[in-house]
A and B are shown apart, each in its own frame.
Chain A
Amino acid sequence: EPEVTQTPSHQVTQMGQEVILRCVPISNHLYFYWYRQILGQKVEFLVSFYNNEISEKSEIFDDQFSVERPDGSNFTLKIRSTKLEDSAMYFCASYIGTASSYEQYFGPGTRLTVT
């Protein structure tokens, strides 16, 4: 069964550094997402991406964040200058884009630790 993959599984970075989290969505999916889960809290929507542009973003997704689909397979989340409060698990997801099967497939997550 096709799956969403994410790399790395764990990233440690220093405050103020830039990080890029990588995701490979399922190949025939059209919508891509990033979600965040701070330890012990619920999963929060960050951004959705369709047709090479952001279709929706949350209040969390400020100017420090950006997303990109640099080629036909990868989908990345960049945090320009990390803060301690960016420490969280980041989940990538993809959705095929048809109403007959509205389901997002989630990757295993990248745990980001900012020190």
Chain B
Amino acid sequence: AQSVTQPDIHITVSEGASLELRCNYSYGATPYLFWYVQSPGQGLQLLLKYFSGDTLVQGIKGFEAEFKRSQSSFNLRKPSVHWSDAAEYFCAVGAITGGFKTIFGAGTRLFVKA
């Protein structure tokens, strides 16, 4: 069965420091992978997506993610975090079965300290 694991429930980084959020997926075929960000009480904003091709994908707000098939990972990175990046981050995989649903990880809450 398809699944997504985000091993870190929460992470705290200093403003200006680099960030890496981990994501591992379980999926039998070539995965369609996504990262979403959610501020408290708000909806889901798509940061970036991977369908095929270059394994390093660029997204909005200075985020990037790298697909590593051998590690079943799709980690999200940002070289310099801003206080406004504090939010919940969800990794997700698109399941190309029946209804093409999206399966979300449990999320990682990012705290940014001054």
Chain A: number of interface residues, binned into ranges? 20 to 34
With most chain A CB atoms within 10 A of its CB, the pick from B92, B96, B100 is B100
Q: Is the CB of B99 within 8 A of A33?
A: yes
Interface of A is mostly: strand
Q: How many residues in B have their beta carbons less than 8 Å from beta carbons of A? A: 24
- In angstroms, Cα B49 to Cα A86, docked, is 30
With most chain A CB atoms within 10 A of its CB, the pick from B44, B98, B104, B107 is B44
Q: 23 A-B Cβ contacts within 8 A?
A: A31-B99, A33-B101, A42-B90, A43-B90, A43-B92, A44-B104, A45-B103, A48-B100, A48-B101, A50-B99, A55-B99, A56-B97, A56-B98, A91-B43, A93-B102, A95-B100, A102-B51, A102-B94, A102-B100, A104-B102, A106-B46, A108-B42, A108-B43
